[in-house]
Structure 1
Amino acid sequence: MTEQQRLEQWVRRLGWALGSLPVRERDDILRETRSHIDDRVAEGVALETVLQGFGPAERYARQFIDEIEAYEALGSQRAADLALFVANRAHRSGVAAFTLLLLLLLGVLAAITVLMVGLKIYDPVHTGLWVGQGGGFVGIIDDAAAGRELMGPWLFPISALLLTLVAVCGRLLLSFVVPLLKPRPDRPVKEPT
């Protein structure tokens, strides 16, 4: 394989790896990368050395894709976009995996809260935070006389407050973590396994 064929093959693989990007962005990256390679070769550096410096085309492309996805998620500031960005990196980052776990726990807490509000509306006499001889629990009790309900009508404002806290905590967590996961030039990119 000639050097020109080797270069064309590497650039073609880069183009394939950038396939998820819009055509204009992909073409800009390919043009800039090709220009950098040509400049280095014109300076007398061997093509193989230049390509080794870039690394595998797929890994080099991953840097651009990650950076674009991070800026899009941060730019939109939608919780769903930020959470999707974190979820897509959970398999390569412990921080992302831990954040995803915390988000799932917050989601479960929110779902339980909404369920309790719905049950309280449906059956206000038997639903609530109960304390009895066997201890306490949140849920439905068969015999309302067997325990004492602690929240009563306060379940609704407490639930609203809890749901607000869940939303704020989730948003703050995402706003803190997404910039940490954004690729930086001073941090090497790990090869996907």
Structure 2
Amino acid sequence: MTIQYDEDLVAGWLRRFKWALKRMPSPEREDIVAETRAHLHERMAGGLTAVQALANFGAPEAYAGKFLDEMYLSAAAGSQSWSDNLRAVARFATRSGVAFVAIFVVLMVGSLGLGFLIAGVWKIFDPAHVGMWVGPRDFALGVVDHPEASRELLGNWMYPLCAAAVALAWFICRGVLLWAVRILAPKA
């Protein structure tokens, strides 16, 4: 009776484990499940009950998370795609200070870059109200309601400034993500 119970318990745990690994390519997933099954059977052959053996592995979703983390970081470390790097670093943002700082910097610098992109495009459609403005009591980069109360400093130089700011934001964000992935990736 306990042998059947143990087998059913292990089979159910392995089913949940395999389901938790669904994002992993099939050949790798099958290898990991087979290896985990072998480890479980070794422990049970060594005298542990199924409950004791499974307790060492923890919840199947948590155990699968370790393999998925490694897969995402390995893919990001070997990739030049910013989306792979962002996805991998975001996955660790709540568990790693490095990832949290990287995501924070990407959000802040990316927002500034997006702001410059919007200002540059908006300048094309409303050049009389968009620019770098200085007045008696204010300084603004962007849109003003009453351009006659201020003086526009950049004119058409707004376009190269916005393009340079967007490019700089892109390179900073990319560099921060690559730095974070290098630190987080498992060392070979």
TM interval, shorter chain, is 0.7 to 0.9
Q: Residue in 1 aligned with 2:103?
A: 100
Q: Distance in 2 between matches of 1:11 and 1:182?
A: 27
- Range with greater deviation from structure 2 (111-120 or 93-102): 93-102
Q: Residue in 2 aligned with 1:46?
A: 48
Distance of aligned partners of 1:119 and 1:20 in 2 relative to their CA distance in 1, 3 Å threshold: closer
- The TM-score normalised by the length of structure 2 is 0.81
Task: Tell me the alpha carbon deviations over residues 155-184 of structure 1, each in whole angstroms, 9 at most, x when there is no partner.
Answer: 222222211110111001111112444467
Distance of aligned partners of 1:55 and 1:141 in 2 relative to their CA distance in 1, 3 Å threshold: closer
1:166 equivalenced with 2:169 (yes/no): yes
- Contact persistence 1:63–1:183 (CA under 8 A): no
Distance of aligned partners of 1:142 and 1:94 in 2 relative to their CA distance in 1, 3 Å threshold: same
Q: Secondary structure at the match of 1:76?
A: coil
- Contact persistence 2:131–2:152 (CA under 8 A): yes
1:123 equivalenced with 2:157 (yes/no): no
Q: Which structure 2 residue ranges, 5 or more long, are not aligned?
A: none
Distance of aligned partners of 1:9 and 1:154 in 2 relative to their CA distance in 1, 3 Å threshold: same
Q: Secondary structure at the match of 2:24?
A: coil
Q: Once superposed, what is the RMSD of the aligned Cα atoms?
A: 2.6
Q: Distance in 2 between matches of 1:118 and 1:166?
A: 16
Distance of aligned partners of 1:142 and 1:15 in 2 relative to their CA distance in 1, 3 Å threshold: closer
Shift of 1:103: 1.9
Task: Give the partner amino acid of 1:167.
Answer: W
Q: Which structure 1 residue ranges, 5 or more long, are not aligned?
A: 185-193
Q: Residue in 1 aligned with 2:117?
A: 114
1:6 equivalenced with 2:30 (yes/no): no
Q: Secondary structure at the match of 2:132?
A: strand
Q: Distance in 2 between matches of 1:98 and 1:62?
A: 22
Shift of 1:91: 4.4
- The TM-score normalised by the length of structure 1 is 0.80
Identical aligned residues as a percent? 37
Q: Residue in 2 aligned with 1:157?
A: 160
Q: Residue in 2 aligned with 1:67?
A: 70
Q: Distance in 2 between matches of 1:118 and 1:17?
A: 44
